Structure 1
Amino acid sequence: MENTPRVLVVDDEERIRRLVRMYMERSGFAVDEAEDGEQALDMAINKENYSLIVLDLMLPGMDGRDVCAQIRQKKQTPIIMLTAAGDETNRIHGFELGADDYVVKPFSPRELVMRVKALLKRSGEPEVANTELHPVLTFPELVIHIDARRVEVRDEEVGLTPKEFDLLVYLSQRPDKVFTREELLRDVWNYQFYGDQRTVDTHVKRLREKLGQYSELVSSYIITVWGVGYKFEVTP
């Protein structure tokens, strides 16, 4: 079916690829597989517009970090990294390169499917859906087109990943309200279980950097409230 979301699963272990494919297809996704970084790049950039990519960090030859970075130069496809349990430094680096989420090996296939669905939601979390949404949010030097999922700073379009966009919309719709990292994980990432709070910190950092390339003013809208979390504030 044309409207079926297509996912690319990249892992050098055939057993893992087959397992992920089975659970994804049971949940209604179409699935392609790649066994190394070079094949993944060719498929993701040249051959298909994937809804999402599940990408193993430790690949032979070109590793997942390099694959993620090169995909990000061309596309904003959502990326979930598969990482080893003790690979904290590489996980953080993966976020900095543009990954949207990660799942630690060994992982539950059901949890992975849930994270895929959560990442593909277009601001469809219950709390967001129950809030009156405006199609366009306008601030000094910043315009957010919610329905079109487009952000403009000083009339220049800013390329954001799906989760960076969701985070910006969530905060900007509730100016001056302070959110804890736990609340943001629950409402933006839709995690109904424990999530790594550094996920939020890394996405905020990356969002500020992208906005700051066009305007220091706009990057300053996202305020860190030390010891608590974050808020969106437009100073007079």
Structure 2
Amino acid sequence: MSNERLLIIDDDVALCNLLSDYLGHEGYRVEASHSAEAALQRLADDDVWDLLILDIQMPGASGLELLQQLRPRLRTPVIMLTGRGDEIDRILGLEMGADDYLGKPCNPRELLARVRAVLRRAGPDAVVEPRLFPEQVIERSGLRLDPGLREVSVDGEALELTSAEFNVLAYLMQNAGRVMSKEQLTELVLHRKLTAYDRALDVHVSRVRQKLAPLVGDGVELIKTIRGQGYQFVKGSA
């Protein structure tokens, strides 16, 4: 029997009770929060959870907003519960670092199978990356990145980035002057292994460059491609 702690975050109290009973009978220790705000407070008080089961659509702050605040500071695995037709939400959730998703209404038996699979992948033999994400505001070469507010500005002008683009830039700025491999960045940002013909990370880096270009000036290259190795944020003045 398992003894892992699971936190269900869903405003549907009846569903939480049903899933808690079902997973509890399988040996899991299950608790529930019924809003993103309540979950955030609970996670701040106690972050020792083995897996989060997160509903995307909730009153108040959405599950996506909660996930954005949690990643990448909290590496606890996350399974999203989504409406069957919410493909965009599923894609955004996976980009933000969710490990799996399941459409609602969900079959408790299928959820159990996914819980077991995600926990197996995140088990004691899983490789844990070093904490390279910044915890304090970084200012380099006219850029100001605030990891707490998840805001970036260039010489005081706000730069709009997606969650994945923000995380790419954050890791590169935090490690300015150091070459970060595509393999490492793919695992840190997209939470998966880099595979052959996988261009997702390259697309995110390209979009960050495109958004920076009008603000930093012609010919200024802040993110360099190091052929055969990865990417590097140019180490300028702090």
TM norm. shorter chain > 0.5: yes
The TM tier, using the shorter chain, reads 0.5 to 0.7
Matching of residues 176-215 of structure 1 within 5 Å? 209=168, 213=172, 214=175
Between the aligned partners of 1:62 and 1:54, the Cα distance in structure 2 is 16
Residue 99 of structure 1: CA displacement?
1.1
Between the aligned partners of 1:16 and 1:105, the Cα distance in structure 2 is 10
Question: Is 1:219 equivalent to 2:182 in the alignment?
Answer: yes
Between the aligned partners of 1:21 and 1:220, the Cα distance in structure 2 is 37
Deviations 1:117-139 (A, max 9, x none): 11111477xxxxxxxxxxxxxxx
Residue 26 of structure 1: CA displacement?
1.1
Distance 1:87 1:216, change over 3 A: farther
Residue 23 of structure 1: CA displacement?
1.3
Deviations 1:163-192 (A, max 9, x none): xxxxxxxxxxxxxxxxxxxxxxxxxxxxxx
Normalising by structure 1, report the TM-score: 0.57
Quick one: percent identity of the two aligned structures? Answer: 33
Residue 48 of structure 1: CA displacement?
3.9
SS of match in other structure, 2:181: helix
In structure 2, list runs of 5 or more residues that go unmatched. Answer: 134-163, 185-193, 199-227, 230-238
Question: Is 1:106 equivalent to 2:105 in the alignment?
Answer: yes
Aligned CA RMSD, in angstroms, stands at 3.3
Distance 1:52 1:210, change over 3 A: farther
Give the structure 1 partner of residue 18 of structure 2.
19
Give the structure 1 partner of residue 31 of structure 2.
32
Distance 1:123 1:90, change over 3 A: closer
Residue 73 of structure 1: CA displacement?
4.7
Aligned length: 158
Distance 1:58 1:216, change over 3 A: same
Normalising by structure 2, report the TM-score: 0.57
Between the aligned partners of 2:93 and 2:181, the Cα distance in structure 1 is 25
Distance 1:30 1:210, change over 3 A: farther
Between the aligned partners of 2:10 and 2:121, the Cα distance in structure 1 is 27
SS of match in other structure, 1:54: strand
In structure 1, list runs of 5 or more residues that go unmatched. Answer: 125-145, 160-204, 227-234
Between the aligned partners of 1:122 and 1:223, the Cα distance in structure 2 is 17
Distance 1:47 1:108, change over 3 A: same
Larger Rg: 2
Between the aligned partners of 1:77 and 1:150, the Cα distance in structure 2 is 11
Between the aligned partners of 2:169 and 2:115, the Cα distance in structure 1 is 24
Deviations 1:190-219 (A, max 9, x none): xxxxxxxxxxxxxxx89x949973565611
Distance 1:51 1:220, change over 3 A: closer
Distance 1:220 1:69, change over 3 A: closer
Distance 1:218 1:66, change over 3 A: same
Give the structure 1 partner of residue 143 of structure 2.
none
Residue 74 of structure 1: CA displacement?
3.1
Counterpart of 1:88, as a letter, is: E
Distance 1:211 1:30, change over 3 A: same
Between the aligned partners of 1:19 and 1:62, the Cα distance in structure 2 is 23
Give the structure 2 partner of residue 150 of structure 1.
128
Deviations 1:11-54 (A, max 9, x none): 11111101110111011100111111100111123224110000
Give the structure 2 partner of residue 96 of structure 1.
95
Give the structure 2 partner of residue 166 of structure 1.
none
SS of match in other structure, 2:60: coil
